[in-house]
Amino acid sequence: MPRIDLNRLFIGGLYALSGAAAIVWLAQVESFPLTLTWPVFAAAFVYFHWQSVEVNDRLLASPSVMVILTAAVVFGPGQAMLGTAVMAALGAINPADIRRRRIFQLFANFGQLVLSAVMGSWLVELTLPASIAPATMTTVALASAIGAVGYGVVNICLVIAGIRLALRRQNVWPWSGMARLIPSNLIMGFLGGLLGATMVLVGPVTLPLILVVFFVGHLSMDSYARLREAQLDTLAGFTKALEAKDPYTAGHTERVAYFSQLIGVEMGFKGADLERIRVAALIHDIGKLAIPSDLLRKQGRLTTDEYDLMQDHAHMVEEVLGEVEFLRPMLEIASGHHSHFDGAGYGGSGHTEGERPGIEARVLAVADAFDAMTSTRPYRKALTQKYALAELKDKAGTQFDPHCVEALEAALERTGEVYGSTVIESDEVARKIAERNVNFEAPAPEPLVAEDTSDGRTASRG
């Protein structure tokens, strides 16, 4: 039995009550559109709403907005608000929420969808011309576009407010994100108005025709989204294989991806740019799969040959994945994760001796080094977060980009999460403890990499 959060219950209840009150009130002032088209609209809305595809793409608003607006135009003043409100109410009853007992979502969605639909239809009712004719098409389309923007604004405001109030999370969605939704809502609304007018003028035959086109497009978009996910899952499978081979890196990839996201968000990366860093983090160590495991697990000092071979992993990722088109931009980032801010270090195409690596590679380098220090390695135990951050700051400007280090610190402060050991303050202490601790699997007194210690760099092998 999950813990009942009174705050969430209250907010969800408030939303649901407002939605229900709106429907009850509309039932007094409007009549219900008792036509054969209503169930078709309702089915289309429910389908597109339940099957909403999440693709990181601003082009594609869900066709469900279009369906609401088409219905509003077809029903017209006196029926539009009630007709679309009931459609929205049906759409809110999502079986996935019921199955997972997400009562809050269910209640909040109900209110949010109903109120958005009422807003959209109300604006349509206000601005729709007295009669729909080929001559008034522009006005109809504009009315519907206005309605769609109204729908979108109410919808997103209620979502943001709901999450902020109920989950007490402030940085859920920047308000500026709303601007991104307006163009696609405008297009969908415009199209909805056109379709509505066409249905009135030409006949209901146009509805199934356009729905078929959208349905097929929606199916493909859904398959596309699933395939994108599959690509990442497949790469994750190989990362897991790496972890099986080198247990010390267990969870490393995922944590590096997480820290890069923290830094990226803090530095103002968005959408596709942020995604690129995440994928680069997921593949940054894949090259290690091509490195013999005994070397990966070696606890003692590496010979020069071994060190060279170990360095290969940074550009090996390009050798392995170089032919995969969509990964190319990420490969450069991934292959530069051992490239230093001042142009030293090593790597593949993302590293040019003496030149500053790309910003994404700098983000990844900080995330990678931070996780390497705060987790236990064959050659030493985990260090504390405080020590790791101090070390990063110490090397900021030479090995690491100072902005990225600052961003990581700020982000960690904001999340309040703590990584690494709670007691070990320094590499030296860590080594001493490691030497004494017999239970510790990898008692490795040697410094990380022979060559690197001379100039005091915080090198990590991963």
Partner 1 sequence: MAERYLRYAVWLLVALSLAAGSFWGQLAEDSWYEIGLWAAALALADQIRVEAPSSARHAVSLAVAVAAIPSLSDAWSVAAVFAFGLAASRIIMGWIHGPIPGALSTFVRQAAGLAFLATIDLSLFALFDALAFEGSGAALVAVAVALVLWLFFDGLVRVYLEHGLGDMSIPFIIRLMWRDWPVVASLFGSGALFGAAYPILGWWSVPLSVVPYVFTHVAFSRYFGARRTYGQMIRALSRIAEIAGISDEGHADSTASLCLAIGLMAGMHPDELTELEYAALLHDIGRVSVSDPSLSLATHQSAELATLSAAIIGQASYLNGVAEIVANQYMPYRQPGQGSDPEVGVASRIVRVAAEYDRLIHERELRELDAIEVLHRGSAYDYDPEIVLMLREVVGA
Q: Given the complex with partner 1, which of 214 and 387 has the nearer CB atom? A: 214
Q: Given the complex with partner 1, which of 122 and 214 has the nearer CB atom? A: 214
| Pair of tokens at residue 9 | 């219950």
| Pair of tokens at residue 196 | 């509505």
CB 226, min distance to partner 1, A:
7
Residue (of 152, 33, 146, 163) closest to 85 by Cα position:
33
| Pair of tokens at residue 398 | 């030479």
Rounded Cα–Cα distance for residues 275 and 395 (Å): 27
**How many of the other CB atoms lie within 10 Å of CB of 366?**
29
Is the CB of residue 398 less than 8 Å from the CB of residue 340?
A: yes
CB 333, min distance to partner 1, A:
17
CB 183, min distance to partner 1, A:
13
| Pair of tokens at residue 171 | 């940085």
Q: Given the complex with partner 1, which of 18 and 51 has the nearer CB atom? A: 51
Is the CB of residue 72 less than 8 Å from the CB of residue 196?
A: yes
CB 184, min distance to partner 1, A:
10
Is the CB of residue 334 less than 8 Å from the CB of residue 352?
A: no
CB 180, min distance to partner 1, A:
17
| Pair of tokens at residue 335 | 């292959």
CB 448, min distance to partner 1, A:
21
Q: Given the complex with partner 1, which of 102 and 297 has the nearer CB atom? A: 297
- Which residues have a Cβ under 8 Å from the Cβ of 149 and sit 6 or more positions away? 182, 185, 186, 189
CB 451, min distance to partner 1, A:
24
Q: Given the complex with partner 1, which of 136 and 398 has the nearer CB atom? A: 136
Rounded Cα–Cα distance for residues 353 and 351 (Å): 6
CB 349, min distance to partner 1, A:
16
Alpha helical stretches, state H, 93-205: 95-99, 103-127, 137-167, 177-201
The residue behind tokens 């590499």 is: 427
Q: Given the complex with partner 1, which of 106 and 296 has the nearer CB atom? A: 296
CB 151, min distance to partner 1, A:
18
Q: Given the complex with partner 1, which of 276 and 340 has the nearer CB atom? A: 276
Rounded Cα–Cα distance for residues 262 and 149 (Å): 32
Q: Given the complex with partner 1, which of 78 and 208 has the nearer CB atom? A: 208
Q: Given the complex with partner 1, which of 117 and 132 has the nearer CB atom? A: 132
CB 327, min distance to partner 1, A:
7
Rounded Cα–Cα distance for residues 319 and 300 (Å): 28
Rounded Cα–Cα distance for residues 434 and 116 (Å): 61
- Which residues have a Cβ under 8 Å from the Cβ of 84 and sit 6 or more positions away? 68, 71, 72, 75, 117, 118, 120, 121
Q: Given the complex with partner 1, which of 244 and 418 has the nearer CB atom? A: 244
- C-alpha torsion sign, points 250, 253, 258, 259: positive
Interface contacts to partner 1, rule CB under 8 A = 59-60, 63, 134, 137, 187, 190-191, 194-195, 197-198, 201-206, 208-210, 212-214, 216-221, 223-224, 226-231, 233-238, 240-242, 244-245, 286, 289-294, 297, 316, 319-327
Q: What are the beta bridge partners of residue 345?
A: 339
Q: Given the complex with partner 1, which of 223 and 437 has the nearer CB atom? A: 223
CB 161, min distance to partner 1, A:
30
Burial 277-310 (b: 16+ CB within 10 A, else e): bbbbbbbbbbbbbebeeebbebeebbeeebbebb
Distance of CA 297 to the CA centre of its chain: 34
CB 378, min distance to partner 1, A:
13
Rounded Cα–Cα distance for residues 376 and 238 (Å): 21
Q: Given the complex with partner 1, which of 294 and 305 has the nearer CB atom? A: 294
